[in-house]
Copies of this chain bind each other. A is one copy, B any other.
């Protein structure tokens, strides 16, 4: 919930309690649809229904569009699907398709049947695109004009269709068969001589994306070009939809959340944290924890192998957590830096040598620093010089290896076509844990008498 909505919430609640619908309506009229939606999420079912019906008729579609699908379904049940038909009919086509796709089949079918034929066909066309593609997030309400129209004719046409278009700020120029041949902005059109032809003012090199492109790729392109909307085309270069700047922000936020969760060793949640069911969270965390648990079990196998050494020199044990944690932390840092740099396009696969060289030097420098730190600590603990040297050398080695492993792993994952973010901090740490123990006891065997 956003602060503007938060500030007004007590007033709205008290009006709902008093049943003062006239005053409620007046209050809502001053709010942005996004804030009315944010209030609906916060209040009880009966109040939500009253509030929605007290809002200005013209605003209801936009309020409804600002709700997520769970809340939209709730309102459908509260207000009644029949009464909501005019609103669903007016929704942006991408939001409408998303809603119908998320509803239980029976309700979706009932709703679809009540829609006018063109909207029915539109929904049917949009829902057939696979999730997370350009097709799944695009809207079919773009504005287009023929190339041989004049600027004045184009403006007249736009005036007519504007109420039913998601944006008229970018206008696509198409042949009669709908192939995309140009683009112009409303700004260009307003500035142009009314008698000039659309062809003469349009930009002919239109940047577009195929309908099967990944949504993350489309969003990054919208950011790269600072576009208001990206046209989406089929294999014959016919325009089939547009993805708008606000959808790009949503996609970027969604994909970043997924990456963050992967990096924290959680299988990405499909809903928000509080909306995800208990058992789903358990599954999405439990599988990773179990896998990491099995991986880390090798530390036990390694330690079991060195049981005699431990019995002889229990002082060695004191440094085990310090060594594996430090290696793991360095690995987490490298993995985080490389994963994020890959995600925002600061580095690419072809930079691998550059990245490895940098991590090699960083690992050496940090390893030297922490190794000396470790020697000092060991001497202070009174473990004697030989053990201190073992600890120092191991820290040097494991920090170096952590930095290298933390950067190789995401690059390797990207190389084989997987998401680099799977190289989560815990995953890299587990990998480095086992190597750390092997390294520690190997060095100990050589250095200690």
Binding site for B on A (CB under 8 A): 1-2, 4, 30-32, 34, 38, 155, 158-159, 162-163, 168-169, 186-187, 190-191, 205, 207, 221-226, 228, 245-246, 248-250, 252-253, 256-257, 259-261, 263-266, 269, 272-274, 278, 281-282, 285-286, 288-290, 292-293, 296-297, 299-300, 303-304, 307, 310-311, 314-315, 317-322, 324-326, 328-330, 332-333, 335-341, 344-348, 351, 354-355, 358, 361-362, 365-366, 369-370, 373-374, 377, 381, 399, 424-426, 429-430, 433, 437
CA gap between A264 and B262 in the complex, in Å? 13
A297:B433 contact, CB within 8 angstroms: no
Q: Which residues of B contact A361 (CB under 8 A)?
A: 278
Copies of the chain in the assembly? 2
Query: Nearest Cβ distance between residue A98 and chain B, in whole angstroms?
Result: 15
A340 vs chain B, min Cβ distance (A)? 5
Asked whether, in the complex, the Cβ of A223 is within 8 Å of the Cβ of B246, the reply is yes
Bound together, the chains give a CA A190 to CA B186 distance in angstroms of: 10
Given contacts A228-B228, A245-B228, A293-B326, contact A299 B321 (CB under 8 A): yes
Q: Is the interface of A mostly helix, strand, loop or mixed?
A: helix
CA distance A355 to B329 in the complex (A): 27
Q: Contact between A318 and B333 (Cβ–Cβ < 8 Å)?
A: no
Considering the complex, give the chain B residue whose CB is closest to the CB of A190: B159
Within the complex, the shortest CB–CB distance from A280 to chain B, in Å, comes to: 11
Nearest B residue to A309 by beta-carbon distance? B314
Whether A325 pairs with B300 at a CB distance below 8 angstroms is no
Q: Which residue of B lies closest to A225 (CB)?
A: B34
CB-CB under 8 A for A282 and B365, given A303-B321, A322-B296: yes
Complex contact B252–A253 (CB within 8 A) = yes
Residues of B near A351 (CB, < 8 A) are: 274
Q: Which residues of B contact A304 (CB under 8 A)?
A: 318, 381
Docked-complex contact A266 and B336, CB < 8 angstroms: yes
Q: Which of B163, B261, B337, B346 sits near A337, CB closer than 8 Å?
A: B261
Which of chain B's residues have a CB closer than 8 A to the CB of A299?
321-322, 325
Q: Jot down 11 A-B pairs with beta carbons below 8 A, ordered by A.
A: A223-B250, A228-B228, A252-B253, A257-B344, A274-B354, A278-B361, A292-B326, A293-B326, A303-B318, A321-B433, A324-B324
B337–A293 contact, CB under 8 A? no
Task: Using A272-B346, A286-B365, A325-B433 as known contacts, list a sample of 7 further A-B pairs with CB atoms less than 8 Å apart, ordered by residue number in A.
Answer: A30-B205, A223-B253, A261-B337, A278-B361, A310-B310, A320-B320, A328-B429
Query: In whole Å, how far is A212's beta carbon from the nearest beta carbon of chain B?
Result: 15
Known A-B contacts A226-B34, A265-B332; A300 and B285 likewise in contact (beta carbons under 8 Å): no
Q: Which 7 A-B pairs have the closest CB atoms?
A: A264-B336, A299-B321, A226-B246, A272-B346, A273-B341, A425-B425, A329-B426
Q: Indicate if the CB atoms of A265 and B2 lie closer than 8 Å.
A: no
- Report the minimum CB–CB distance from A298 to chain B (whole Å): 9
